[in-house]
Amino acid sequence: MSELSSTTGNLEVPYTPPPVTPKLPPREWIRANLFSSPFNSTLTVVSGLVILGILRGLLSFLFNPIRQWDATATNLRLLMTQAYPEEQYIRVWVSTAVILILSGLSLAVWRAGSAVPLSKVGRNLVATGATMALLTLLAPFSASATVQWLIASAVVAAGGEGIRRFSAIRSGSVGSAGSVGSGGSSGDDGRTVTTLTLLGVALTGLVVSLWVVPYGHHSFILDRTPRVMAEPGTVAMTTKLPWTVMLVILVAAYFLGRSLRDRLPTNATRATLLVSWLLAPPVLLYLVLRDPSFDMGHVLGTDLPIFGAYAVGGAVLLSWLTRPTTGEVGRIVAALVLIVGFCLFLQPMRMIVRIDMLMLACFALAAPTFAGGQRARRRYVVGWLGVLGVSSWLITAINTPSTVDVPGDFFMGGLSLTLLVAIFTLVVSFPLGILLALARTSTMPIFRLLATWFIEFVRGVPLITILIFFSIMVPLFLPRGMHLSELAAVVVGYSLFSAAYLAENVRGGLQSITRGQHEAAEAVGMTTGQKTVFIVLPQALRAAIPPLVGQCIGVFKETSLLAIIGLFDVLYIARAVMPNQTEFMGSTRENVLFVSLIYWIFAYQMSKASQRIEKRTGLGER
């Protein structure tokens, strides 16, 4: 009781924002931050020289006439989707559009974006202009190019200054240019603009530039003698038209989401969107991109009846098991279902029957945890139907031959493969990692031992040995007649690896849950399963968000190891394919630099997003 009152007492204390340190005028700022002492001045001079040297070296590397940036420009499609056939490329665009629609809706529904003072935008633009001018002077440009770039930077800086003054005038703060900075940043008196608007403006600018700026037209012409075409002019219609459509779709989806978000129940909408995000990768991969040619006779004659039988039987069984009055007869029945599932698994019969039976057994075992009223039971049965439907459909689709005709093992490569492997690895390893973490913190010693050994073993060896092992050895461990492509085997190995690391992060979260939470859950009569699912895990996962996001970034970055075992990921193409094209011999450095830029953008954005989540949920402040 006393704790409760003290907590509410804390809540009533009004929040006082930390004192704002006033912005110094430029000259004093420089003195305080750069030349405060002789030692500091020396440091400033030395590091300034170092920075200038690095910039100079980088620029003369980038703009050296012998650089083959044509290689990247010509091979962009190869880097993104490898050899996906031209006539079916609409599938790639449809997939991109689906992702963009989901993004637009999510941005609106989760009310993403924050307000930025317009004066800050202006200041940043001015700084950008100044940096551009500095870089122009450092770069090895010809005189005319230097002048052009200087004019461009002046335009940017002037635009920024204009925006700054505009915001200062409209917000009514009077004063000279020197004091505006301090006034604009400290309060809400300045005009603001949301980050989403800025993003929209930037994206629109990029797309418009595709129509206006003569980037040049680079492509391979696959005649009898393949050759490279590189001619000045605007970008080809096959590039700029789809991207324009994509932009329109994104913006339309955002505004659609905005108009819908107030009319629909928020939680239901968010749940639907989350499920769509989860389902999007497999659906896009196996239905849109891979285009399976279903054998309708087989589907209608075999797959659908099996699905129907499990759907009806499972629904009846589960709705009985989730009745609060069933008691431990239900547990015994669930255990029987599990035993039947195992016996079935050892019998030779259709794989789908065996897998469905095991899934049903898992649902039956978990049923008492979710027992409750009419609604809870209905939700559980619907969950079973959904999981059963998706998995049946996936199993059917995976085993159906594809119509997309490409050379090689897998029909996609490049950045798509990188992203696919990262997403699938994360989706598979998350539940696995949570289970491992629960087992490692469990009071059951055998579970704990097995989980600990597995985790410590996996964490002790490098990823590359695991990938090599799985890519070479997995076919040897499979029973006759079962096949797993090299890519699938590698994803399995990578998932096991990443699950061990995720488990350690989740364990950290689990250990941050205080004893009182467990005791309170037990006191209100929850079973161990209910306590774990409804009380412990939600809090533990929330506490583990920062390391989990870090792990996601790690998984994304380390997909580059696929290049070592010879899968066509973006790094392999940049390093082993493009430098061997007759036109672009030895262009490795340019290509690898471009690839590292791609990786950097993704990883940096993820880490920034993680910091925002941390701030928003108040992690680390309690």
Chain positions contacting other proteins, by CB under 8 A: 33-34, 36, 40, 43-44, 47-48, 50-51, 328, 332, 342, 443-447, 449-450, 457, 459-465, 468-469, 472-473, 475-479, 525, 553, 557-558, 560-561, 563-564, 571, 575, 588-589, 592-593, 595-596, 599-600, 603-604, 607
Q: Show the CA angle centred on residue 123, arms to residues 120 and 125, nearest 5°.
A: 110
With tokens 């005009």, the residue in question is 191
Instruction: Give whichever of 242 and 550 is closer to other proteins, judged by the CB atom.
Output: 550
State the SS3 of 320-375. HHCCCCCCHHHHHHHHHHHHHHHHHHHCCCCHHHHHHHHHHHHHHHHHHHHCCCHH
Contacts 24+ apart (CB under 8 A), 261-268: 261/108, 261/109, 261/111, 266/109
Per-residue burial over 124-149, b if 16 or more Cβ lie within 10 Å, else e, is ebbeebeebbebbebbebeeeeeeeb
Instruction: Give dist(CA 223, CA 409) in Å, integer.
Output: 25
The DSSP secondary structure of 259-274, one letter per residue, reads HHHTTS-HHHHHHHHH
Instruction: Give whichever of 172 and 460 is closer to other proteins, judged by the CB atom.
Output: 460
Residue 18 backbone dihedrals phi, psi, to 5 degrees: -60, 145
Count CB atoms within 10 A of the CB of residue 50. 10
Give kind and range of the element (H or E) at residue 503.
helix 486-511
Instruction: Give whichever of 22 and 172 is closer to other proteins, judged by the CB atom.
Output: 22
Least Å distance, CB 335 to other proteins, is 9
Helix, strand or coil, per DSSP, at residue 472: helix
Instruction: Give dist(CA 360, CA 344) in Å, integer.
Output: 12
The answer to whether the beta carbons of residues 432 and 320 sit under 8 Å apart is no
User: What is the token pair recorded at 122?
Assistant: 């202006």
User: What is the token pair recorded at 271?
Assistant: 């749940």
Least Å distance, CB 259 to other proteins, is 37
Instruction: Give dist(CA 555, CA 550) in Å, integer.
Output: 9
Instruction: Give whichever of 36 and 259 is closer to other proteins, judged by the CB atom.
Output: 36
Give kind and range of the element (H or E) at residue 194.
strand 192-194
User: What is the token pair recorded at 336?
Assistant: 């029987």
User: What is the token pair recorded at 497?
Assistant: 């690896």
User: What is the token pair recorded at 566?
Assistant: 């010879």
Least Å distance, CB 135 to other proteins, is 14
Instruction: Give whichever of 40 and 185 is closer to other proteins, judged by the CB atom.
Output: 40
Q: What is the largest CA-CA distance in the chain?
A: 87
| Amino acid, single-letter form, for residue 316 | V
Instruction: Give whichever of 300 and 449 is closer to other proteins, judged by the CB atom.
Output: 449
Least Å distance, CB 79 to other proteins, is 13
Pairing, β 192-194 against β 217-221: unpaired
Least Å distance, CB 447 to other proteins, is 6
Least Å distance, CB 470 to other proteins, is 10
